Amino acid sequence: MSPTESHAAPHILLIDDDPTTIQTVTRALAGVGTLHVASSGGEAVRLLDQVSPDVVLLDADLPDLTRSWILETLRADPERADVAVLLVTSRGDEEVEQAALELGAVDCLTRPLRPAIVAMRVATQLRLKAAHDRLRRAAALDPLTGLIDSRGFDDSLGREWQRCLRSGQPVSVLVVDVDRVRRFNDHYGHGTGDRYLAAVAGALRDCVHRPFDVVARYGGDEFMVLLPETDSNGALQVGLRMAAAVAALALPHAASDVASHVTVSIGATSYDAACSAWLGGDGAPFTVIDPGVQAHDLLASADLALHVAKRRGRAQQCFRSIDAAVDAARCAA
């Protein structure tokens, strides 16, 4: 099966302070997507961080530095490099149009705007982006489970990490490891092992319900879960739900020394710029935030928590602070 896909309306950002243009575009794009309007460069910067638009309509009458900065910022960010920018120009703005196209704008809309043309041009760019997104997802699918693979996960993590830093929203990562897979394959055979891994993958995928949550097969019997806008408590709840869902499959595992059925061990970590401390298992606070933390530190921290879960007997979940200087974890079977 394919990963969960979003069916939400696309987001369109109009950067323009002309009332007639705003009114025309609003009427033209009714039903096409969710329109957000910025009437200044500063407001545009704020909305670019908050909205993650699929298409941007950019006023050519903005100051050159502001217009160029917006275009260059979009193209320099891997997360937003494929966002289509349509320049809204007045007749006779050939030099502005050329400069914008050189910086990455894909098309121009000429004032006075005609609603039908605006709707068609924007719809065309949305179709192209949707097709590109489908190809990108298909290229990063694991053939056994239908989940995205490690490359797709790393790309998603990079995008969500940048969004987390811009928005101040938390982000969490879980690493899920199927217990005693080698013993299982020796006992039942690799064919049965593959079928069981596919079943586990389906159970994990069914435990996330938001279109931007990511479940990936990272390699072998290891799965990664990316939970944007999720703090530690939310991450722990998802992890417990996943462990219970796998146990509910009741897949026999006679060779396991953990349980008579297939189980998983889970390591969890979170980054939350709004918090300064988590509570450890003994109720004592310990520091989370490290100014030098990077996206890969999330993976390392979750992996360390997984090792703790395994040392404590497997078939449980452990949370570890992202602060590598703190060797503390809280676990729950």
Residue with tokens 């302070």: 17
Cα 106 to Cα 113: distance, rounded to the nearest angstrom? 17
| Amino acid identity at 276 | S
Catalytic site residue from 221, 231, 297, 323: 221
Residues 228 and 164: beta-carbon distance below 8 Å: yes
Cα 271 to Cα 285: distance, rounded to the nearest angstrom? 15
Three-class HEC string of the chain: CCCCCCCCCCEEEEECCCHHHHHHHHHHCCCCCEEEEECCHHHHHHHHHHHCCCEEEEECCCCHHHHHHHHHHHHHCCCCCCCEEEEEECCCCHHHHHHHHHCCCCEEEECCCCHHHHHHHHHHHHHHHHHHHHHHHHHCECCCCCCECHHHHHHHHHHHHHHHHHHCCCEEEEEEEECCHHHHHHHHCHHHHHHHHHHHHHHHHCCCCCCCCEEEEEECCEEEEEEECCCHHHHHHHHHHHHHHHHHHCCECCCCCCCCECCEEEEEEEECCCCCEEECCCCCEEECCCCCCCHHHHHHHHHHHHHHHHHCCCCCEEEECCCCCCCCEEEEC
**Would you call 59 a catalytic residue per the annotation?**
no
Cα 69 to Cα 74: distance, rounded to the nearest angstrom? 9
Cα 172 to Cα 297: distance, rounded to the nearest angstrom? 11
Q: What does the block give as tokens for 170? A: 């938390």
Query: Which residues belong to the active site?
Result: 221
